[in-house]
Structure 1
Amino acid sequence: MVRKEELTYKSRDRQTMLNAVRWIPDGQPIAILQVIHGMQEYIDRYDEFARFMAENGIMVIGNDNLGHGKSVTPPGSIYGYFCKNDPATVLVRDAHRLKKMTQEEFPGVPVFILGHSFGSFIAREYMTRYGTGIKGAIIQGTAYTTRGTLGAMNFWISILQFFFGEKHRSKMINDMAFKGYLRKIEKPATPFDWLSHNEESIKKYIADPACNFIFTLNGFKTMAELLKRIQDEDRMEDIPKNLPVLITGGSEDPVCSYGEALKRLFDIYRLQLQMKNVDIKIYDGFRHELQQEIGREKVFADQLDWIKKVLSGDN
């Protein structure tokens, strides 16, 4: 029997109370998997996946990031806005705080992290800061963005922010980020068909005001800053060389350039950084949201097997 609990804790922005959820298995968990969700969603969207893991002895935890889900609380908090001062660092520290709180309650239980999409940017930065304190990391649906693209985005964000403020929602910046994602889909039924082939999941996403919103300029600027940090190869040197990492995503996912960004990251980790335990798994025919996609049961089983493999020392 899986026990699901909600809790709150204070963000490193020093004012927001973050919402967190944990799925606790019967008995002592064999591991803890901390999920860092993507942009324009929230942790409870991983309920099916989390219950599967918990039924197999792995406790799952995760928080709604600032500006997301139930962590959007007054005063002044809105969807897609993080915080004023260094949000790229605050997001990573918020994840770390939840990890430390959980470890205090479950001492000695190894912790893994799984970062999806925007959450993978947080997870990759987490690995450079706190990688020695985790057992392994799953980097899912991550991206690579050129310096030129990041520079152009930051240029326009700065101009728009000067005139409209950091909480402004810009259709132009949103189009710069997402408009090309439908390019390889014939006759898309919705603007979000790139997420998965699962029509029911997409309908729920569109109908959910906690998903279907445009990031603020602050949100997009934070994303650009995280990408800049995680693509800095000097910073990557701080990732522990023996940290097990699984890089994964879908072959039809435009966020990871249809798998090319995953292969690029794999080569950097294995060849340039000479990390010892890096695996890659690209799912043929899958789009962006692996935990929502048709055939997701295969993803669930593979990620469970990978965690068990790391725990057994066979990787």
Structure 2
Amino acid sequence: MISEKFTFIGGEELIIQAYKWIPEHTKCIKGVVQISHGMAEGAHRYTHLAQYLTDNGYIVYAHDHRGHGKTAVNLDKLGILAKEDGFQHLVLDVHRLSKRIQLEYPELPLFLLGHSMGSFVTQEYIMHYGECLRGVLLSGSNGKQGPIVDLGLWIAGREVRKIGRDTKSVKLDKLIFGKYNKQFEPARTHFDWLSRDEEEVDKYLADPYCGRIFTAGFFYDFLSGIKYVGSLKNKKTIPEDLPIFVFSGDKDPVGRYGKGILDLVEDYKKVGIRQVTYKLYPGGRHEMLNETNRDEVMQDILEWIEKLI
């Protein structure tokens, strides 16, 4: 595949690092897949998916979200989203890239794949811009979480007032992620919950852009976004004819070991979305694209997309 780097301007005039992967043979391009990556990682971790998709005739785009990867400029800036409303800026940045893609390839169908944090960003994206997409894929996601989000917001608000928006918060990091490894004890690392593949976990640990503790402002903005996308009223704004594929490991703590995935699918059906499918992979953890059965997962993604072409 052919790899390209470019930048575009996001909200607050932020320069955002983006990536494009193109099939070497461009005569039979079928569509475009845009990726919205997860928290405390970067778009570079999706190169293997881009390789698989380009090998099968798809152009792939991704960008490093604000506060992540090369968009953060340096490691000290990781986890800083915006002066305010950081989650909304994440959504708008994704849409800015979508618009650029559609200007470059107006004749090709566009699919959006969001993982983890990027899946929640995608959940809001389709509430505003779902008509732009041929289909959407949600990886490592979750459904409504109830009063626990309000409690988290209250704690995060206090933390912002105490230490400031741009200060790293060990307290909030432990609050959000502290119990994720419990299911896998005795654990080899703090990130065993990501994947059964020890090599992939070690690569994550060795990556300076991954696994960092983020700021109090990030957690407040992120929880605000989680509350927004959890609303059934807001889900009613999603186009009813938008196909959605939700996939996760049934041992993923983010998706409450499958329960959150089933809740999300049920809510989408309640608001009238007609093409909602899901798959829970037995034994799979949070990063199904980095799991021991990732080849199966990528094949499932491709087959789902190709049914819509």
- Specify the SS of the correspondent of 1:268: helix
- Specify the SS of the correspondent of 2:184: coil
Cα deviation digits, residues 106-149 of structure 1 (max 9, x gap):
12100000010000000000000000110000011112353322
Q: Please give the residue correspondences for 1:9-158 in structure 2 after superposition, counting only pairs within 5 Å.
A: 9-14=8-13, 16-25=14-23, 26-28=25-27, 29-73=29-73, 78-144=77-143, 146-158=145-157
Deviation at residue 186 of structure 1 after TM alignment: 3.1
For residue 281 of structure 1, the aligned residue among 264, 279, 284 is 279
- Specify the SS of the correspondent of 2:289: coil
Counterpart residue number, 1:174: 173
Counterpart residue number, 2:289: 291
C-alpha contact (below 8 Å) 1:36/1:63 kept by paired residues: yes
- Specify the SS of the correspondent of 1:310: coil
- 169-178 vs 142-151, which moves further: 142-151
Query: What is the identity, as a one-letter code, of the residue corresponding to 2:271?
Result: L
2:217 aligned with 1:218? yes
Q: Please give the residue correspondences for 1:186-201 in structure 2 after superposition, counting only pairs within 5 Å.
A: 186-201=185-200
Query: What is the identity, as a one-letter code, of the residue corresponding to 1:32?
Result: V
Distance of 2:167 and 2:237 partners within structure 1: 35
Counterpart residue number, 1:263: 262
CA 1:145–1:265: 2 relative to 1, 3 Å: closer
Deviation at residue 188 of structure 1 after TM alignment: 0.5
- Specify the SS of the correspondent of 2:246: strand
- Specify the SS of the correspondent of 1:127: helix
Counterpart residue number, 2:240: 241
Distance of 2:162 and 2:85 partners within structure 1: 21
Deviation at residue 11 of structure 1 after TM alignment: 1.1
Query: What is the identity, as a one-letter code, of the residue corresponding to 2:132?
Result: G
Distance of 1:115 and 1:301 partners within structure 2: 17
C-alpha contact (below 8 Å) 2:31/2:110 kept by paired residues: yes
CA 1:144–1:277: 2 relative to 1, 3 Å: closer
Counterpart residue number, 1:228: 227
Deviation at residue 216 of structure 1 after TM alignment: 0.5
Q: Percent identity?
A: 33
Query: What is the identity, as a one-letter code, of the residue corresponding to 2:63?
Result: N
Distance of 1:198 and 1:13 partners within structure 2: 39
Distance of 1:45 and 1:91 partners within structure 2: 18
Cα deviation digits, residues 253-275 of structure 1 (max 9, x gap):
111011111111111112x1121
Distance of 1:285 and 1:95 partners within structure 2: 31
- Specify the SS of the correspondent of 1:102: helix
Distance of 1:185 and 1:162 partners within structure 2: 35
C-alpha contact (below 8 Å) 1:31/1:57 kept by paired residues: yes
- Specify the SS of the correspondent of 1:129: helix
C-alpha contact (below 8 Å) 2:41/2:68 kept by paired residues: yes
TM-score, normalised with respect to structure 1? 0.95
Query: What is the identity, as a one-letter code, of the residue corresponding to 1:169?
Result: K
CA 1:36–1:306: 2 relative to 1, 3 Å: same
- Specify the SS of the correspondent of 1:305: helix
C-alpha contact (below 8 Å) 1:17/1:73 kept by paired residues: no
Distance of 2:17 and 2:169 partners within structure 1: 27
